[in-house]
Each structure stands twice: as structure tokens, then as C-alpha cells.
Structure 1
């Protein structure tokens, strides 16, 4: 009889070859399955005799360990897919995760920058240096398009079309989409490509097509982007938290605040489901108050 890890290996190959899943998705599935295999070993059960009561014990352990609802939901989804694969291959009789409901998630309101804060970030880079030009192009592109940090670091110079002011984005699940960028991002990108990027690229013998390079001429990583943004916030003397997704949140929030429709924002962000975009329908307290004061017939208009 095959071991649980052998079944896991077959499932990983299925995800890669048949489902064309991204390496990160495969990594997450693998981690969740490994955790469940470890649980089964501790309870002396196998994939073949795993049943709903065992699932309840597993979920109670998750609760005791204080995992977030989001993490538990992901694990249930991963294991449900794993057992669905095993059932299809006739390796198990049925899927014990089939009727396990996902815990209701607490959806936090996304953090975003106010426009005044962004103005400070846009003026902090030293545009006479290669890294300053890169940083300016980086933040203008991320805020100007709302792309994910993973999409940003994978972007190549050839993905930019300056005649149409659009960028080709390699999104989640290897889905491609085109996003427009404005004049500020276009100007910053051109300056960086024509000057700063060439100087950075000359520091490394191997040529790379990646758009954003680090100080040594290699491709800029996601962690590198986080460090760049953290330093920019510090240099701008802003007392706010910073992470790359905050620029994406700001992009969506500002578009909706200015009247953009939800479907268009969904397409720009590359969301598969509209529900993912609806978390951005919050508005700032100031704007909410202004709408009320300017629109309600019984508001105090003086």
C-alpha cells in the first residue's frame, strides 16, 4: 500500500501538470497536506480509514492552536481538493471533507494611503541616482496600476507598451491581463529604463529581461520591494504601516471613491470573483461625512 506522502506526491504532480497551478499554490497545498499527514500519524489513522469524526478532531486542534479562520478555510479547501483527487483515482472510498463547511471569515477593512501621504512618497526619491529612478518607477507603477507585488517583480521590460500606455501582467494562475498606466507612471518608467536600469544592469554579466533590478543588477525580489517601500516611508517621515499590498488597496479605494464602477475595478485588479473586489467598497469617514452633509436634505448646510 502506498504511503500518504506518495499520494501527496502524485497530487502535487497533478496540480503542476494537469491544473497548471503556480509554484506558490503547489507549495501551499503541500504544506497543508503535510500538516494533516502529521496529524493522522499522531492519531494512528490512515488516508483509507480517515472519517468525519477524525476531521472534527483535526479542526478542534486548529482552534486550540488559535489559527485564523482564513488559515483554517484554506486548509479545508486544500484537503478537500486532495481527497477529491484520491476519490477520483479510486484510492479512497469517499471524501471526508466533502460536507465540511468553511468557517465564516472576518474580513478586515483594507489599509490604504491617503492621497497626501502618497504625495510625500512620490517626492522622496533622488531622481539623479539609478536606485532613486527605480524606486520612483516602482511606486508609480504599483500605485498607478494596482498590480500585486508578485506581478510587479515578474514584469519584464518588453511587457510595457508606451504607445498604448499599457502593461502586460502575469497574474494569479498564470492568467494574463493588460492594465493601463497614467502619465506619471509612464514618465517615471521611461526615465528609469533609459537611464537608471542600464546602469544597474551593467553591474551584472548575465543579462536579465526583468524590469526592476536590485543594486547589484539582479532581479528585484518581493522582499526587496518590501525593503524599498519601508525605507521610502521612513525617509518621508511617515508614521504609517507599509506593505506592497497597501498600494494596491489605495489604487482600488481611490478609484471607487472617485466614482469608478466595481466591475471595472475588478477587471483592473485581476480578481476572478466580484466578492474579492467588494472589500474595497468602504469609504473614508471624511468622505462619508461630506457625502451626507452635501446630499441629505436635513443636513446642517450653512
Structure 2
């Protein structure tokens, strides 16, 4: 139970809210705002609880914003999913929104209303509109499961907007080893705790293919030394939208395949040992107060150093680079099923389709060489 005091144009008003379990066993959230005093808000909650104790359902028509808040509080989804849903709230809720859907009762938002909302954003980028629509779809899907709406109009909404021309340039997806060496050397020359950490993170990322959030959550106990050295991947760092005191490691990884052992190759073993010996705490990447370092801060530093040296780089690009290097030296860049499966295991992908379609890259020279070799002699007699 919570009573929140808010300042409005007409003075202070109070909002009452509490969670309960309905007769179907679903956790729900009940809230109402506009009370002139905290006592009024408390009495409202008491009346609603009496109705529940007598076996009666609380009849209410929540707004889209109220359902959104309940979704964040109750739904069992990953932190990143909640964060991505929350970051677009100003687009559809409040006085600054292009259309204030948030103040509308969710069961009154129909297909035509959503079409008008999408039409107002037709000149925005397709990628942004897709993310906004996906956020709204998650909220409406939750509302349908909680029986706030009888049907889900968002399921019939398609994404519009201005599409950008996809850039298939190989260099946009991976970074060359000479360029990466330049970035790492520059970071180490800066000689700050953050730059040294960024340099080590770049080495781990390109030599293991680990995700940035997984690297930032590493502790010394996760590293197993010996002839068959490996990193035990069991956690990722939750950090988006959180202050440093609130950052924490979570055992809820992206998929079941994300859990596993990552091989420490010989080139990484010595630098990683030196790094572990140089830090006093258990966490591999923490500030002087023991808090987890910010992945965004590390990523921005790496990108800025690359930009200063005329190099396009971000940390996740190193995971793509690792995947491409695994398969790059095969004849004609043509890979057997076994080779792809090994790459899938090392990248900890749930599906090898992800390994092939997203994380491995061929450039125009690869395509030209393969086309010439495959068609050479076959079409020589064509007139």
C-alpha cells in the first residue's frame, strides 16, 4: 500500500495504490488519484480491500499509463525489456506527447485511435516507430492477459515511418586488429583507472566474444586458471537507468544458451592474470568505492577514442569481430555445419541462425572471389 503526494496546478493531490490477487490468482494493481487528503486516499484503499474480502471484484477501467505502471511492477520479464518499454513513455504519455494515450482508459483505445497515433509519427524514422510500437504491444499484451481489454488492437498495427537504407559495408560491423590495437594503445596511454579498464574490456570482448554486460559483472571467482582456463559466465550487470549504488549483477541472462564456459585463449591468459593481480577487490571492473563501473561510460570512452583516431568502433562490435574471426580463415569463407556449431557454442547463441545471419560478415571481396571461382569455366561458352 502506498500514498503518494503530488503537486498539481490546483494544489497538492494524493494518489492511492496497492496490489492484490484477484479470484483467478493474478496479481493486479489498483490505483486512484485526485484525493484532497491522505486520509481520503487511505479510506479509499480500506473500502476496496473490504470489497475484496467479501469476494467482490474491484470494478475499474484503468488508463494506459496505470496499466503501464502495473506492468513494470508486476510482470515477470527481463529488466532490459522493462527498461526499453519505459524509455519511450514521453512519446505516448503526458502533455508533451504527440498524442496523450496515457490518460485514456485502455479499453477505450481502439484500432482507429492507434492508427491516428501512428499516422502522426509517419515522418519519424521507421526504427524508432518500431521500438515504440513494440513497447505499446507489450503493455497491451499484458492488459489482455489481465482481462482489462477483451481484444488487443495493437496486434493489428503495422509500423510506418521513414526507412534508412541498410549499410552492408563489412567495415561497419567489425573492426580490424590494427585499428583495435590503436584504440587499446591509446586507452592505455591515457593511464586512468577507467581507460585501463576499457582497454582490458576490449581485449576480453574480442578474444572471448562476451557481451559487455557479462564482462562488467565478472568477479575473480568466475575465472578458472590452469591448462584449460575458462571463464564461467553466470551473470550480467543491470545498469540502464540506474545510479551506481543501484547497479547489480543478475543471474537472469538473455537465454538458457547464454550460460556456459568461455575459453581463455593463450593470448588473453597473461594480460587477464596481470589485471586480476592488480585489483584489490573481488569485482574485476569496479570504481575506487567498489561500485560497478558504468558500461555506458566505458562504451562512450572506447567510441570517443576510436573517433579521435578515425576509427569506427563500439564495444559490441568486438563480439561481431570475434564471430567473424572464428570463421574467417576457412577456404573461400564457406563453412561446414560443424564449424558453425562450434562458433554457436563459443558465442552462446540459442540458434545457429543468429550466428550465421547476424554475427558473421562477408565483404565485397569475399563475394567477388567466390562468384568468380564458382562461375569460372561454367559460363565461358556463353555468347
Q: TM-score, normalised by structure 2?
A: 0.62
Which sits farther off after the overlay, 248-257 or 271-280?
271-280
> Which has more radius of gyration?
2
1:173-184 superposed matches below 5 A? 173=254, 176-178=258-260, 179-184=262-267
Asked if structure 2 preserves the Cα contact closer than 8 Å seen for 1:73 and 1:102, the reply is yes
- Inter-CA distance 77–228: structure 2 relative to 1 (3 Å threshold): closer
Structure 2's unaligned 5+ residue stretches are: 1-59, 237-252, 379-383
Structure 1 partner of 2:71? 11
> SS where residue 107 of structure 2 aligns?
coil
Superposed CA offset, 1:210-265 (max 9, x none): 2123477643211332254246547xx74212211221221122223234644443
Report the Cα distance in structure 1 between the residues aligned to 2:300 and 2:90, rounded to whole angstroms. 31
**Which structure is higher in strand share?**
2
1:229 aligned residue (291, 302, 307): 302
Structure 1 partner of 2:321? 250
How many Å apart are 1:103 and its aligned residue?
A: 6.0
- Inter-CA distance 83–134: structure 2 relative to 1 (3 Å threshold): closer
- Inter-CA distance 8–121: structure 2 relative to 1 (3 Å threshold): closer
How many Å apart are 1:188 and its aligned residue?
A: 0.8
- Inter-CA distance 88–223: structure 2 relative to 1 (3 Å threshold): closer
> SS where residue 154 of structure 2 aligns?
coil
**Which structure is higher in helix share?**
1
Structure 2 partner of 1:76? 133
1:139-288 superposed matches below 5 A? 139-163=202-226, 164-169=228-233, 170=235, 172-173=253-254, 176-178=258-260, 179-195=262-278, 197-198=279-280, 208-214=281-287, 218-230=291-303, 233=306, 238-259=309-330, 261-277=339-355, 278-288=357-367
Count of aligned residue pairs for this structure pair: 280
Superposed CA offset, 1:151-177 (max 9, x none): 221222222222332223335447542
Structure 1 partner of 2:118? 59
How many Å apart are 1:4 and its aligned residue?
A: 3.1
> SS where residue 244 of structure 1 aligns?
coil
Which sits farther off after the overlay, 106-115 or 4-13?
106-115
> SS where residue 280 of structure 1 aligns?
coil
How many Å apart are 1:90 and its aligned residue?
A: 1.4
Asked if structure 2 preserves the Cα contact closer than 8 Å seen for 1:149 and 1:225, the reply is no
| Higher relative contact order, chain-length normalized (CA < 8 Å, sep 6+) | 1
- Inter-CA distance 9–82: structure 2 relative to 1 (3 Å threshold): same
How many Å apart are 1:270 and its aligned residue?
A: 3.8
Q: TM-score, normalised by structure 1?
A: 0.76
How many Å apart are 1:9 and its aligned residue?
A: 1.9
Report the Cα distance in structure 1 between the residues aligned to 2:255 and 2:353, rounded to whole angstroms. 21
Report the Cα distance in structure 2 between the residues aligned to 1:96 and 1:33, rounded to whole angstroms. 19
Superposed CA offset, 1:32-89 (max 9, x none): 455334455369843111111112112122223x13x233223222222221221221
